[in-house]
Structure 1
């Protein structure tokens, strides 16, 4: 449900209250209760009918999310501008998009709960900043940056990116902003400044995962003599060779701008991932596996860490209709639960993962939880995967997700493969599959390097077309 106000220079709340009191009241009540725009009062009915089941947890509320009426009204107005921005982008209405950018830019650093407040707040309060006007306005400005870049208005994009970086010191989006600023500066020919921005970003603790890898690679590319004579210390690490396998298949289509399709071994049409699965199941080593990308990993993480995710922590559960704590996407998730998490990860490391997985599945099957897809993966698949991955590697992945779920919950390899040897010991392999015109994203590269550090067997499977139905490894 959208707030029923037309676009203008601002929202006249007196007019809104006068003409649309009932609809506004329902909109406000739902957003205040559910704390998002996706749920509404039908959630109660879905639970009563047994269609949706939410996890069991305790709501321990000691702090208010909105400490003043000023904060609430500013947040509501920012949400309205965000809704207008989304609609304008869908309709390619440039005039309205630019107006939304202008409004949000002017209000982004508003006095109602400032943008840098996370630096002085208790760890859990960082999750509350998602419900501040400044955060919503910064999200609109970020969308505006992408729009301006598509329009090749790099000067305007650079100005906004500098404003974002100046105003939000403690924010997981700083890596993306820094990367885009460096790229846009290169677009306008400011190579020295672009290099300085990339180098500065690498000293920022909020620049992580794929953004950090991308900035490191930019520094290596832009920082060649005569700009820089010294090779950075990370050069060898970021340029590590990731093993590659080359598979050939009979193409169904090979047109630019379309997703590559092939004929599989059974003659049926399939994508590159399915073709790779067929290869690995056969001459590629007799592997079992699934095409899952991040899905199976987020499911395994949630099942293994269920008791931690839904532990008694104040202020992170506000209603009975949540599928995750409010702080899951923040650093506070790990910081507040560090002792619980580390003791639990030790159990996983020591070989108890399969036991924990089975118990969690049996107790919670069908319960809504962020990251869990009960239908896509069977318990037998998950058990086999966990057994073959091993405790040490599982604990490492779970630690990465617990410490920074937002940065690491995407970009995982396409395929998770496993098989059992003659001595019944399991082995796992992770594979990123790329079609003829594809290449690794920086986030995918970051995950592969992390997985290599964790002890995983990883490789990139590159699929290319041939006329015949045979495939081969080069």
Structure 2
């Protein structure tokens, strides 16, 4: 049974045992868009999608296979899908008759050489190569270059490969498939093969209530805006100069989700413009972007251009605002360098406290260094776990589960989200602040353990961007909830929320529990492990400094191997 025949209105992942599972997943996308986004499509596009559903199973499956493949041109004799109920020729005839594919009688030289083998091309062009004074045994790339210069960009297939004159077809409506993929996912990063072959059956997903407001786009012009930005990024990746792309960049938008994507595009345009020697253009792009990284890059560029007064004015004013740790660190370094250039005293910035360190000497046992230290310190009454970034993130994800999956507008666009689309955007917290504060009340009221454990048992196995089910088990959770005070959890969670993209990593490798310690604030400690030659990274130093300021026990364990000791 195809997904279009199911009675359940909520899309389901296809059964991977079904040889046509990829068709079921494609139908999921088509039906979801028809049900939830039809107002963003033209009448012609809606009619075309309705026609897709009416095709035979074989025609729908073959069309899906073609959409999934790279490019829009296909050799008929290379279409081989034995799982189709009907022959490929029958399905293709139906697709041709309904204008889903069209004959491609003219091909660009690049496409000709991509679709046909050297053995097929050499006889066809032997005479012209001879007339040009070249042997027919030229390699493919050299032959293509010569023919491009002589024949132009496009050739008529029947003139050169008459036996194949009617064997190449082209997809007629690929832009429509790209548009519905964008409306379903809210991005074009996830390709058709990734989604149709893998994504839907990969995980179990939390059920989120969908409303018209939760869609990625509310208006068709917003879809167009995204596609324009995507085209700019593709051209940038292909090496088109930023100066040529700059006029194509869409203007500011009121859609906060689109605005964040525009900020990332401007950041990348600024980076590439500087590399291309277009420094003024780079400054303009970086100044217009509100991406977290843009301001520091703008300041560093002004510094390299020796425009110290401008850099100082921006850095001095920016320093007074609330910054993430990475921004604070980068800005402090710039202020220190630029202050002397403008004859100003550098601001007094508080120094981070040095982390507590110790050294252990261990025999090499063939296990990772973190595991060796875990085994070294393990005691039955003081267990040690290798958790790195999983435990604190997991506790947060379980406490705030309902907030993470709240149907906030623009957060969930389809039923297969691991987490909200705006998770790392600057407005993630402001749009959920009241809900988050209600979660923190559980820490204050003392019932947070019950909430976390209840969510663990109720939601176990469902995808959550903060919870790694392979590491976080009930035993670990119960120990953590006994040993980590709620006020520690609150300050850790609030720091996470200050910059979710940056602060979800950098936690120490190990956590050691001391449940019998009389001091409730000393019933656990975090241990960052560094093997021989390894050193702390910046984001790890920032977490360690935070622990020091908050009175949270954390140390750095440096390891040397016994055979290295002389």
Alignment TM-score > 0.5, same fold: yes
**1:356 maps to which residue?**
451
Q: Is the counterpart of residue 178 in structure 1 residue 295 in structure 2? A: yes
Structural mapping, 1:47-446, within 5 Å: 52-62=203-213, 65-66=216-217, 69-83=220-234, 96-97=238-239, 99=240, 101-108=242-249, 110-111=250-251, 114=252, 117=253, 121=254, 125-130=255-260, 134-135=262-263, 137-141=265-269, 144=272, 148=275, 156=278, 159=280, 161-168=282-289, 170-171=290-291, 173=292, 176-183=293-300, 198-205=315-322, 207-220=323-336, 223=339, 227-229=343-345, 232-233=347-348, 235=349, 237-248=350-361, 263=364, 267-271=365-369, 273-281=370-378, 287-421=382-516, 427-446=523-542
CA contact (8 A) 1:414 1:432 kept: yes
**2:190 maps to which residue?**
38
Structure-2 separation of matches of 1:299 and 1:410: 12
CA offset at residue 102 of structure 1? 4.5
CA contact (8 A) 1:101 1:140 kept: no
Structure-2 separation of matches of 1:434 and 1:127: 40
Structure-2 separation of matches of 1:415 and 1:52: 28
What secondary structure, in the 3-state scheme, does the structure 1 residue paired with 2:355 have? coil
Q: Which deviates the most, 325-334 or 66-75?
A: 66-75
CA contact (8 A) 1:161 1:177 kept: no
CA offset at residue 353 of structure 1? 2.8
Q: Assess, with a 3 A threshold, how the Cα gap between structure 1 residues 179 and 140 changes in structure 2: closer, same or farther.
A: closer
Structure-1 separation of matches of 2:527 and 2:185: 39
Q: Assess, with a 3 A threshold, how the Cα gap between structure 1 residues 399 and 436 changes in structure 2: closer, same or farther.
A: same
Structure-1 separation of matches of 2:381 and 2:269: 50
**1:461 maps to which residue?**
557
CA contact (8 A) 2:183 2:223 kept: no
Structure-2 separation of matches of 1:25 and 1:420: 60
CA contact (8 A) 1:214 1:442 kept: no
Q: Is the counterpart of residue 22 in structure 1 residue 139 in structure 2? A: no
CA contact (8 A) 1:418 1:427 kept: yes
Structure-2 separation of matches of 1:463 and 1:190: 46
Structure 2 residues without counterparts, runs of 5 or longer = 1-67, 73-107, 111-168
Structure-1 separation of matches of 2:511 and 2:280: 42
Q: Assess, with a 3 A threshold, how the Cα gap between structure 1 residues 339 and 136 changes in structure 2: closer, same or farther.
A: closer
Q: Which deviates the most, 373-382 or 437-446?
A: 437-446
CA contact (8 A) 1:59 1:314 kept: no
Larger Rg belongs to: 2
Structure-2 separation of matches of 1:106 and 1:212: 33
Structure 1 residues without counterparts, runs of 5 or longer = 8-17, 87-95, 251-262
Q: Which deviates the most, 56-65 or 298-307?
A: 56-65
Q: Which deviates the most, 295-304 or 461-470?
A: 461-470
Q: Assess, with a 3 A threshold, how the Cα gap between structure 1 residues 274 and 214 changes in structure 2: closer, same or farther.
A: farther
CA offset at residue 167 of structure 1? 0.6
CA offset at residue 55 of structure 1? 0.5
Q: How many residues align?
A: 403
CA contact (8 A) 1:216 1:238 kept: no
Q: Assess, with a 3 A threshold, how the Cα gap between structure 1 residues 186 and 32 changes in structure 2: closer, same or farther.
A: same
CA contact (8 A) 1:104 1:138 kept: no
What secondary structure, in the 3-state scheme, does the structure 2 residue paired with 1:333 have? coil
Q: Deviations over 1:180-210 (max 9, x none)?
A: 44445556667776666544442354x4221
Q: Assess, with a 3 A threshold, how the Cα gap between structure 1 residues 421 and 269 changes in structure 2: closer, same or farther.
A: same
What secondary structure, in the 3-state scheme, does the structure 2 residue paired with 1:33 have? helix
Structure-1 separation of matches of 2:422 and 2:222: 20
TM-score (norm 2): 0.60
CA offset at residue 429 of structure 1? 1.8
Structure-1 separation of matches of 2:232 and 2:392: 35
CA contact (8 A) 2:354 2:545 kept: no
